[in-house]
Structure 1
């Protein structure tokens, strides 16, 4: 995987707390959990294939 893009994300404090608990339940960091959620949503919507996209 190439270099990752970073950006600022503002979340509602209650949503952040829920995300924090979910990440802890799955032994992930919050960043890792967000990456997993986004990857899964892109894959499930057909916007990303299982193959690594090298065209970035």
Structure 2
């Protein structure tokens, strides 16, 4: 999985609240919503950002999550 760069971001509380409402409506986290908004803003300015290949969510193939093969 590709590591994401973490950093502190200070936001005006009203801006954070607005982003939270958008995120809730889109069933995203605030972090994912901010990332989406940044990608959209960059695209409008003609800046193309390739998506990194990240691991898919969920269990790896072949795992059932029920019990264990170990005794």
Ranges in structure 1 where 5+ consecutive residues have no aligned partner:
none
Structure with bigger gyration radius: 2
What count of residue pairs does the alignment treat as equivalent?
52
Ranges of 4+ aligned residues in structure 1 off by more than 2 Å: none
TM-score, length basis structure 2: 0.63
TM-score, length basis structure 1: 0.77
Ranges in structure 2 where 5+ consecutive residues have no aligned partner:
53-71
Bigger helix fraction: 1
RMSD in angstroms over aligned alpha carbons? 1.9
